[in-house]
Amino acid sequence: MRGNQIATIEADEEIAEKLLNQVKLRLVWLSCPIRNRVEIPRCYKCQHFGHLREECKGEDREGDCLRCGQKGHRAKDCKEDALEYCHNCNIQGHGYNTTKCPEYKKLLDAKRTRRNNRPLKTQQ
């Protein structure tokens, strides 16, 4: 079997820590690396990363175009030549919900660093 295939396993903390301590998981004839999945929440109210709608204190941008960021139309009605705009970093060229956003990458790196620096529990 060639190519990358990704599987996500959701487990309670105790089992997850045991799996992460193993580094690799043997599945039939495959030896698969194990990594802790890191997710950054996205708010669909203000279009910013780091929180969810229920916790949002930001500007309501639900009516804004998710492509160009302008008010008054939806993404499906956006001009084809309009550049994507991100409210997170205020840069044109990518949308707010993409992993290309420098703000998203910064939050992801910070969260990964915090998780990687946390000592894993060991079996005794």
pLDDT of residue 115: 65
Alpha-carbon distance of 59 to 119, in angstroms, equals 38
Q: Where are the domains of the chain?
A: 1-37, 53-115
Going through the chain in order, the beta strands assigned E by DSSP cover: 24-27, 30-33, 85-86, 91-92
Q: Residue-wise pLDDT tens for the chain (124 aa)?
A: 567 777 788 888 888 888 888 878 777 888 888 877 788 898 889 888 889 999 999 999 888 888 888 888 888 898 877 788 888 888 888 887 788 889 999 998 888 887 666 554 444 4
H-state helical runs in 8-68: 13-22
Residue 26: CB partners within 8 Å, gap ≥ 6? Answer: 32
Looking at residue 77, the DSSP 8-state letter turns out to be: G
